[in-house]
Amino acid sequence: MNILLVYPEFPDTFWSFKHALKFVRKKAGAPPLGLLTVAAMLPGEWDKRLIDLNITDLKGEDLKWADYVFISAMTVQRESAQTVIKRCKTIGVKMVAGGPLFTMEHEQFPDVDHFVLNEAEETLKSFLLDLAQGQARRVYSSSEFLDIHQTPVPLWHLADLKMYDTVGIQFSRGCPFDCDFCNVTALLGHRPRTKTAAQVVAELDSLYALGWRKSIFFVDDNFIGNKKQIKSEVLPALVEWRKGKTGMSFNTEASINLADDPELLRLMVEAGFDTVFVGIETPNEASLTECSKSQNKGRDLVESVKKLQRAGLQVQGGFIVGFDHDSPSIFQQQIDFIQKSGIVTAMVGLLQAPLGTRLYERMQKEDRLINQFSGDNVDGSTNIIPRMGLEALKEGYRKVLGYIYAPKPYYERVQTFLREYQPPRIRIQLEPQYILAFWRSIYQLGIRGTERFHYWRLFFWTLFRRPRLFPLAITFAIYGFHFRQVIELHVD
């Protein structure tokens, strides 16, 4: 059996880092973890190929080779997925679809032959048994949240790793919190289910054996959902594993209560973590109550961010405007918070209601749903009617993004962060493309760019005041270039 695994293209978005990746000659952020894990669950004797449309094209001969095309996608990849489905339908190759997009919206894709939804450890097994007997159904789904101790090591060798800047692995699924706009718990449940430390180490060993020495993203929606296991098993295992190894820094997502646990912070940094994404959402306490973001309430959020930075973690932040309790003053409040906190990578989006969330159900009852959920956090769209009015919300949103990513405040924010940050000591393997990226930044940003004054100011300030952080300062300058390109494209 010939299996073609196809990963649809991401549009030009905030997290695509498409414009930044050009500086290091990479095609995409990370290979498709879900598809490569599914590949490891398929019979070993089947021939498998991966086509990631973010780094290569899907050719007619690829489709003719395949007995089945397996496709997985997130909501933001909807348009590219539809194109792939149409091509498969035209050529007559059968399709099997799974992943978040199809789990939430499979009714919208009538041309797909089979849907393997929810968690593949359960539904794929049933599909394969029926397929072997020639009686495969169209839809396989499950409401079970499974033990993931049997999840196999992804087939990394199917991906051309040199085309990527990072690689994702997963330790846990699920989140103990209940934010009403988030569909993580609808997809993966409230109880964090974890792999063993041995599983995590096996995945790292497989990547290291293939020569991977760069960043690894733990894709967990809340890495610290099970603090006890993290502290007693996983982080000590990572500390031990990294001894004598070069590179392999880690980053992940976690809730802000990470700042309340100094021991956990110390262990994460010692284990090699240098970046964490945190859902800040809003400095407005009433809006935090509205969306059930209890872990963010009743605390000095700026100081919590600073604790993480001083411990050795770069903080990337998610922010939302458009809650029912947001007044017109929220836009300036968000600007002030982002600038003061020194969160360089600040993803600000309009409130959206994904299918399966409590917010979606409430908006449906109040007859406030419009359009289709785009899945793009920073495209300036929303699928709900906001209390403050759509035009007022969009005008305020443009004000926020237009300010925080304008060269002057952006570079000031980088400097605010660099003053606070205490970097961990991680031995990084310096690759030629990073040296070339440095020279490209000088040409693109320091000579040609409209931000050249701010670029050189940060350049020399960091060089003389925080020389250890000089590579990071240049990286942030490149990130800023990407963010401005995306904002100019999407936010008019």
CATH of the domain at 25: 3.40.50.280
pLDDT of amino acid 423:
86
Do 117 and 262 reside in the same domain of the chain? no
Q: Which among 372, 393, 420 is the end of a domain?
A: 420
Dist CA 309 CA 259 (whole Å): 10
Query: What CATH number did the domain enclosing 340 receive?
Result: 3.20.20.70
What 3-state DSSP class applies to 319? strand
Q: Are 296 and 384 contained in the same domain?
A: yes
User: Looking at the structure, do residues 318 and 356 belong to the same domain, yes or no?
Assistant: yes
482 with 404, same domain: the answer is: no
Indicate if 249 and 387 belong to the same structural domain: yes
Whether 426 is in a domain gets the answer no
How many angstroms separate the CA atoms of 182 and 318, rounded?
12
Instruction: Look at residue 247 in the predicted model and tell me its pLDDT.
Output: 75
384 in Cβ contact with 369 (< 8 Å): yes
Distance CA 233, CA 239 (A): 10
Give the DSSP letter string of 97-158.
EESHHHHHHGGG-TT-SEEE-S-HHHHHHHHHHHHHTT---SEE--------TTPPPP-GGG
Q: Is residue 151 part of a domain?
A: no
Give the C-alpha separation, 1 to 68, whole Å: 8
Tokens of 178: 């209940």
Tokens standing for residue 443: 């040409």
CB 462 within 8 A of CB 48: no
**Is residue 147 situated within a structural domain?**
no
436 and 413, same structural domain?
A: no
Do 176 and 108 fall into the same domain? no
> What local confidence, expressed as pLDDT, does residue 375 receive?
87
Taking CA atoms, 36 is separated from 27, 66, 163, 169, 403, in Å, by: 18, 17, 16, 11, 40
For residue 146, is it within any domain?
no
Looking at residue 190, its pLDDT comes to: 85
Q: What is the pLDDT of residue 427?
A: 62
Tokens read off for 60: 């007619």
Shared-domain flag, residues 293 and 411: yes
Per-residue burial over 366-383, b if 16 or more Cβ lie within 10 Å, else e, is eeebeeebbbbbbbbbbb
| 129 and 173 inside one domain | no
Q: How far is CA 380 from the centre of its chain?
A: 18
* The pLDDT of residue 202: 97
In a domain, 340, yes or no: yes
The answer to whether residue 129 sits within a structural domain is yes
What's residue 492's pLDDT?
A: 57
Helix (H, G, I), strand (E, B) or coil at 337: helix
- Give the C-alpha distances (Å, rounded to integers) separating 454 from 190, 409, 410, 471, 481: 45, 10, 9, 16, 12
Based on the domain organization, do 482 and 411 belong to the same domain? Answer: no
N-term to C-term CA, the chain: 49
Establish if 459 belongs to a structural domain: yes
Question: Domain end: 420, 446, 464, which one?
Answer: 420
Could you tell me whether strands 193-194 and 172-173 are parallel, antiparallel, or unpaired per DSSP bridges? antiparallel
| β-bridge pairing 314-321 and 273-281 | parallel
- Same-domain status, 392 and 436: no
pLDDT at 460 (0 to 100): 98
Tell which residue, 246, 401, 431, 252, has the closest CA to residue 334: 401
Number of domains the chain is built from: 3
Q: Note the pLDDT of residue 313.
A: 96
Distance CA 463, CA 421 (A): 15
Output the pLDDT for position 426.
Answer: 61
Q: 222 vs 3, 176, 256, 257, 463, CA distance in Å?
A: 33, 8, 10, 11, 35
Residue 306: give the domain boundaries: 165-420
This prediction has a pTM of 0.95
Residue 427 within any structural domain of the chain: no
Q: In a structure prediction context, what are the per-residue pLDDT tens digits for the chain, which is 492 residues long?
A: 999 999 999 999 999 999 999 999 999 999 999 999 999 999 999 999 999 999 999 999 999 999 999 999 999 999 999 999 999 999 999 999 999 999 999 999 999 999 999 999 999 999 999 999 999 999 999 988 888 998 999 999 999 999 999 999 999 999 999 899 999 888 888 889 999 999 999 999 999 999 999 999 999 999 999 999 999 999 999 999 998 887 789 999 999 999 999 999 999 999 999 999 999 999 999 999 999 999 999 999 999 999 999 999 999 999 999 999 999 999 999 999 999 999 999 999 999 999 999 999 999 999 999 988 888 888 889 999 999 999 999 999 999 999 999 999 999 999 999 998 988 876 666 678 889 999 999 999 999 999 999 999 999 999 999 999 999 999 999 999 999 999 987 765
Helix axes 390-404, 330-341, angle to 10 degrees: 20
* Non-local CB neighbours of 408 within 8 Å, separated by 6+ positions: 454
Count Cα neighbours of 118 within 13 Å in the Cβ-side half-sphere.
Answer: 19
- In the listed set 387, 420, 453, which residue is the last one of a domain according to the structure? 420
Same domain, 471 and 359: no
